[in-house]
Amino acid sequence: MTDTRKRITVLGATGSIGLSTLDVIARHQQRYEVFALTGHTQLERLLQQCLQFNPRFVVVLQPDAGATLAAKLRAENCRTEVLVGIDAMVQVASASEVDIVMAAIVGAAGLRPTLAAARAGKTVLLANKETLVVAGQLFMQAVQQSGARLLPIDSEHNAIFQALPAHCDGELAAKGVAKIILTASGGPFRLLPLDKLRGVTPDQACAHPNWSMGRKISVDSASMMNKGLEVIEAHWLFNAAADQIDVLIHPQSVIQSMVSYVDGSVIAQLGNPDMRTPIAYALAYPERIDAGVPPLDLAAIATLQFEKPDMQRFRCLQLAFDCLRAGDDRSAVLNAANEVAVAAFLQQQIRFDQISDLVDATLQRLASQSLQSLEQVLAIDAQARSVATNEIGRLA
């Protein structure tokens, strides 16, 4: 009997998106088979995932981690082959056997394998927003040239994808779309007095009120840089100009995002704040499958709140809009500088309120240039990180 299961590579299997993806796959093992997993330092978690899903390959970045994991797998009589390095990640993302690639590596590190999956014509489930923020034009060209299918995993973009008209891949206005409205929780500091932001600790910034996420993404949510990156991502995903994208704070995180139409209609996608919902939708698209998420109880929620974001409080969001309007390499510089700034904050080298200062200073110090190749993107990323790192000493 022919095996009709879809083969999946999960890039970033040990992170929160990777875990949620594997949870959905485990519920539908008659439909999906794990071809490869990738991770970085969480070797014990990778080991357990290999034992559960028996992938053909598992990839880590460092040779010592690879040797350690290989020994653990041999001890468990697991035949999963260990590969090492970024080239191996590219290999498992573009392998001919693979149907679907979950791109869930946080940060610019996921750029090369995600781009490789697009160039190979895979169905790409995009949870790595930096791919579009840093190299949106290159990535979308690869999707169009190869015929790859691109499905967004961020809850907001997945919601917009569901709320847009079918086959809306051209001009939004031609389909009657007036605005894309990204919702944001506002994070843990939505109501904190502005003069208190300088004293925020990393643990406080990582205590998101609604979502369970990694520390870097949690800090981005607290500063609303996460939403700024999503604005840039929405521009590429939906061919939307900056003026066609709005952000609305919605503390309950029940309405994931909305689409406003020229006839006055607003179509919203609602659900419990659980990433398994957009993951299941994208995995089975255009079908719908059980995600393990309980149904939304609107009577229990009772109240839904909305407010406009304060751009003084959330300066990172304003910087992202500015970079989108400026074009060229501005978004790539923004992303690189932010990664450096967040790491410095988590290591208590700078204050929370200095994250936007460091990003802005980096943007000011680097002249704008157009992007033509992946090599140029990576060079700009490296240059921006160097400049941002030097700015840490000035701010400290």
* Each residue's pLDDT tens digit, 316-348: 999 999 999 999 899 999 999 999 999 999 999
Residues across the chain: 396
One domain, residues 169 and 91:
no
| Residue 355 near residue 338 (C-beta atoms within 8 A) | yes
The sign of the CA dihedral 310, 340, 220, 355 is negative
In the sheet where 57-60 sits, what is the strand order?
Answer: 81-84, 57-60, 32-38, 6-11, 100-103, 123-126, 149-152
Per-residue pLDDT, 167: 72
Q: Kindly list the distances between the CA atom of residue 117 and the CA atoms of 97, 150, 244, in Å, as whole numbers in the listed order.
A: 12, 10, 29
Give which of 160, 166, 162 is closest to 179, Cα–Cα: 160
One domain, residues 190 and 309:
yes
Q: Is the model's pTM score more than 0.75? A: yes
| Residue 314 domain-assigned (yes or no) | yes
Q: What is the mean pLDDT of residues 7-32?
A: 97
d(CA 59, CA 45): 13
One domain, residues 168 and 74:
no
Give the domain extent around 384: 327-396
| Residue 279 domain-assigned (yes or no) | no
One domain, residues 207 and 355:
no
Q: What is the mean pLDDT of residues 41-64?
A: 96
Per-residue pLDDT, 170: 66
| Residue 224 domain-assigned (yes or no) | yes
Q: Say which CATH number the domain at 351 has.
A: 1.10.1740.10
| Residue 114 domain-assigned (yes or no) | yes
Q: What is the mean pLDDT of residues 281-308?
A: 94
| Residue 287 domain-assigned (yes or no) | no
One domain, residues 113 and 238:
no
Q: Say which CATH number the domain at 52 has.
A: 3.40.50.720
52 HSE (CA, 13 A, CB side): 15
> Does the pLDDT of residue 108 top 80, yes or no?
no
One domain, residues 128 and 227:
no
Per-residue pLDDT, 395: 83
Last residue of a domain, one of 152, 173, 195: 152
Task: For residue 242, count other CB atoms closer than 10 A to its CB.
Answer: 17
Domain count for the chain: 3
**Among all chains, which residue has been given the structure tokens 């160097």?**
386
